[in-house]
Amino acid sequence: MTTFVLVHGAWQGGWCWKRVAAVLRRAGHEVFTPTLTGLGERAHLFDEKIDLDTHIQDVLGVIYCEELSDIILCGHSYGGVVITGVADKVPDQIHSLVYLDALVPANGQSALDLLPTKIATGLRKSAQGEGGSRVPPGSAEAFGVSIENQTWVDRRCVDHPFRSFEQPVSLKDNWKLIHRYIYIYATGWSPGIGKPFFKCFHEEKSWRVFSLPCGHDVMIDMPKDLAKILISLI
């Protein structure tokens, strides 16, 4: 049995991993899908003070309280920044790091630093509420989600705390001590935030790279294919 911890991206929650988690559990694995503070079923906890450190602590809390080790830790999109921060603090408890069409930061970089300028500018302009603390979700269609899943995704997405996008991650590069690194690029989404990372890591011997013909939300539109890749890492 292998332990998977799957971390969602912006605007979503642990719910987005439902289909992938089901496949992994049927295969006999242990799966945790934490929801970051202020999102998903924890949207009622939204506060303008929520930042990247809050979300890193959310995942660390699951690892500590569930006493997890030898983890395959996967982060989607913004979740890539979160899992890097987590892995830097507990590298000995993580077997593999998986970035699912995700942002991969260096020390001192924020999600806004890593996104294409047009997208980062749009997030800043769309921030609402007191002090510009909330960023409303974009449509599922804009993220390349399949037509049959768009209504479900739009219904579940909520405002995201802006401070978590702008706070730089603080790393000591302990995360680079982890056994394996994997990048999965979703090729069917035109903004292609994963493309530069995929191209970079394709040349790195320490990384394994995959691509799937899918919009940004691979775990929703291609759960079986994603689960197959994750299981192959065991």
Q: Is 77 a catalytic residue?
A: yes
State whether the Cα torsion 220-213-210-87 is positive or negative.
negative
Where does residue 149 rank: exposed (0-12), middle (13-18), buried (19+ CB within 10 A)? middle
- How far apart CA 112 and CA 164 sit, in angstroms, is 9
Placement of tokens 């040349």 in the chain: 203
**Beta-strand relationship, 134-135 and 94-100:** unpaired
What separation, in Å, do the N-terminal and C-terminal C-alpha atoms of the chain show?
9
6, 83 contact by CB (below 8 A): no
Catalytic residue among 77, 96, 110, 133: 77
Q: Please provide the size of the chain in residues.
A: 234
DSSP 168-185: PP---SGGGGSSEEEEEE
Catalytic center residues: 77
